[in-house]
């Protein structure tokens, strides 16, 4: 009631903000009246005049920045270089502040220029993704307000049909005048291509260059040229991967992006929340590949998983009976927790956890178990809890560790398979052995290191296979199509072609499904 009363007197926050911005809209209209008197050549010349005015405002700072950068490049004294570095950052800060103030001052006239240009283009046509489209768009006042908000770095929410594509041209044009490039980040390559061609009709009229990075190949001169355009359109993935690739180059001239100056993010909730859950990762082949080992150990791991499933089903059957008896619910909680440790995605377990009170019972047991693990070994009440299982899974951390029962099942004839030797002790013993010659020491050290690497690789493969069998479900986490494992995005449900899990997990899933096991990859940049 009080909130409604206050809003009726002073208006809502939205209305107050719109009222505060209205003088800018009025100023745009006043400039527009003057621009209407200009010839076509004079209107097209506005862009050059705006850039001259900006140069007058910040040109001296840019020249001083270039001079300091040149001095720093030629300076050999580290103390002087540090002083020049500090000075450069001070100048850079002053430059950005001065440019921001100059652009704010220029906003009404620049927006009016875009609006007048849009009006003069009405009746013309442009080819957009192979189709000829007529131009019939002139920004309304609400679109001018949207453009002002975007220029100020805020979030603007506009409904479908309110002309978001046209709104973006206003702040993009204004910020492109600074000469550092302006980006529009969108969610798919169709929108990037369409909007760059469609709105490019307007930008070209005003003398600006426009490009779409999705029309070029990565790490090519064409991609670099696209970033040199005044306005650059592209998808979030392409912008992101270009940034990662630029951080992997050997020389600065191999980079395709220039400094990041101004960007508008279309559908920001999708890109920065939904899409951001799937990180951008550049992978490359590992130095060696033991793809045959995945298939070799897969049979053994599958058998252990089958045995674990039988154990978990037995625990769940007993827990189900004990849940029906009030005095046995604590025993049921222990068995349910054991089942959760062993097979957290077991459908029977998930069904039981949905029954009233059962999930709370298991959570209490989990807290008791965590507290128990902090006690000295002899005081632990649940220290034998895992012994009934072959392996224990952490669903959240996607990790797995074998129990004694699991190691015995996987290597009944080789109890030392899962014992990784202390390589530092072995090498120390070799170095201190007086009976070995220098050449023999090198050979023995190489043998120890090779044996250690082989054993570590075997353990890594077995753990990844256990993850693949117990935590990754076919037709949920991935699909098998054309003899390939295709990852499914857990948030959108879309197939992600070309994506592969890193660190051997994808190879483990391929071995599990009996398809060709391809080369292992490692993360190079993320």
Looking at the structure, do residues 32 and 124 belong to the same domain, yes or no? yes
Within-domain flag for 119: yes
- Judge if 229 and 163 occupy the same domain: yes
Within this chain, do residues 60 and 139 fall inside the same structural domain, yes or no? yes
Identify the burial level of 264 via C-beta atoms within 10 angstroms of its C-beta, where 0-12 means exposed, 13-18 middle and 19 or more buried.
Answer: buried
Residue 319 belongs to domain spanning? 291-525
The CATH number for 178's domain is 3.40.50.300
Let me know whether 37 and 109 are in one domain: yes
Helices (H), 232-328: 236-246, 268-269, 291-323
Q: How far apart are the C-alpha atoms of 244 and 249, rounded to whole Å? A: 9
Domain-embedded: residue 286: no
Is residue 89 in a domain?
Answer: yes
Q: What's the pTM value of the predicted model, to 2 decimals? A: 0.68
pLDDT at 378 (0 to 100)? 78
Q: Quote the CA–CA distance of 510 and 505 in Å, as a whole number.
A: 9
What dihedral do alpha carbons 109, 114, 116, 118 form, nearest 10°? Answer: -170
Which pLDDT score, from 0 to 100, does residue 415 have?
64
Domain-ending residue, one of 241, 260, 280: 280
Q: Over the stretch 365-391, which tens digit does the pLDDT of each residue have? A: 888 888 888 888 777 888 788 889 999
In this model, does residue 167 exceed pLDDT 90?
yes
Q: How many structural domains is the chain composed of?
A: 2
179/266 same-domain check: yes
What are the distances in angstroms from CA 88 to CA 60, 72, 257? 14, 9, 21
d(CA 32, CA 36): 6
Instruction: Out of 22-36, 272-286, 475-489, pick the least confident.
Output: 272-286
Cα–Cα distances (Å) from 278 to 488, 494, 501, in that order, read 11, 12, 12
The CATH number covering residue 320 comes to: 3.90.1440.10
Q: What is the pLDDT of residues 115-152, one digit of tens each?
A: 999 999 999 999 999 999 999 999 999 999 999 999 99
Do 491 and 445 share a structural domain?
A: yes
- Give the three-class secondary structure for 414: coil
Distance CA 113, CA 173 (A): 10
- Last residue within a domain, chosen from 254, 280, 306: 280
- Contact call for residues 522 and 286 (beta carbons, < 8 A): yes
Same structural domain, 40 and 146: yes
Q: How far is CA 410 from CA 30, 297, 482, 514, in A?
A: 81, 9, 32, 20
Coil, helix or strand at residue 356 = coil
pLDDT at 277: 66
245 shares its domain with 357: no
Q: What is the pLDDT of residues 384-434, one digit of tens each?
A: 888 899 998 887 777 788 888 988 888 877 766 777 767 888 888 888 888
- Residue 6 in domain: no
Residues 229 and 367 in one domain: no
CA distance 374 to 501: 34
Residue count of the chain, please give it: 526
Residues 221 and 316 in one domain: no
């Amino acid at each position: 009631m009080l909130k409604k009363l206050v809003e009726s007197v002073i208006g809502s926050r939205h209305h107050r903000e719109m009222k505060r911005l209205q003088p800018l809209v009025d100023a745009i209209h006043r400039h527009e009246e003057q621009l209407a008197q200009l010839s076509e050549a004079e209107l097209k010349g506005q862009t050059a005049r705006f850039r001259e005015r900006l140069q007058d405002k910040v040109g001296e700072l840019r020249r001083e920045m270039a001079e300091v950068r040149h001095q720093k490049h030629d300076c050999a004294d580290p103390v002087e270089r540090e002083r020049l570095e500090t000075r450069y950052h001070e100048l850079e800060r002053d430059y950005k502040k001065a440019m921001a103030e100059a652009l704010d001052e220029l906003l009404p006239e620049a927006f009016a220029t875009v609006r007048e240009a849009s009006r003069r283009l009405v009746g013309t046509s442009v080819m957009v993704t192979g189709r000829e489209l007529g131009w019939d768009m002139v920004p309304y006042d609400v679109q001018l307000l949207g453009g002002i908000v975007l220029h100020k770095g805020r979030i603007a929410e506009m409904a479908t049909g309110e002309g978001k594509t046209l709104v973006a041209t206003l702040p993009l044009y204004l910020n492109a005048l600074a000469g550092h490039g302006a980006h529009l980040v969108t969610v798919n390559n169709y929108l990037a291509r369409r909007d760059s061609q469609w709105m490019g009709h307007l930008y070209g009229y005003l003398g600006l260059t426009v490009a779409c990075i999705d029309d070029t190949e990565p790490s090519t001169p064409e991609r670099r040229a696209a970033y040199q355009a005044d306005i650059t359109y592209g998808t979030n993935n392409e912008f992101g991967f270009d940034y990662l690739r630029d951080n992997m180059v050997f020389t600065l001239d191999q980079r395709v992006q220039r400094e990041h100056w101004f960007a508008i993010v279309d559908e920001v909730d999708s890109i920065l929340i939904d899409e951001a859950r799937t990180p951008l990762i550049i992978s490359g082949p590992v130095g060696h590949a033991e793809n045959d080992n995945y298939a070799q150990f897969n049979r053994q791991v599958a058998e252990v998983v089958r045995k674990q499933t039988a154990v978990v089903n037995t625990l769940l059957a007993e827990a189900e009976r004990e849940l029906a008896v009030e005095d046995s619910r604590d025993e049921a909680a222990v068995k349910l927790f054991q089942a959760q440790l062993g097979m957290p995605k077991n459908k029977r377990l998930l069904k039981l956890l949905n029954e009233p009170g059962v999930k709370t019972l298991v959570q209490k047991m989990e807290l008791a178990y965590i507290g128990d693990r902090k006690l000295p070994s002899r005081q632990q009440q649940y220290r034998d809890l895992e012994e009934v299982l072959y392996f224990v899974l952490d669903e959240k951390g996607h990790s797995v560790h074998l129990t004694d029962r699991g190691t015995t099942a996987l290597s009944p004839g080789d109890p030392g398979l899962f014992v990784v030797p202390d390589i530092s002790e072995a090498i120390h013993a070799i170095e201190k052995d007086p009976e070995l010659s220098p050449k023999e020491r090198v050979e023995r050290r190489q043998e120890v290191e090779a044996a250690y690497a082989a054993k570590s690789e075997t353990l890594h493969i077995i753990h990844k296979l256990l993850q693949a069998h117990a935590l990754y479900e076919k037709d949920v986490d991935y699909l098998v199509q054309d003899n390939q494992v295709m990852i499914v995005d857990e948030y959108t449900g879309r197939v992600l072609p070309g994506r592969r899990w890193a660190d051997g997990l994808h190879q483990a899933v391929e071995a599990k499904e009996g398809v060709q096991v391809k080369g292992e990859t490692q993360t190079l940049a993320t």
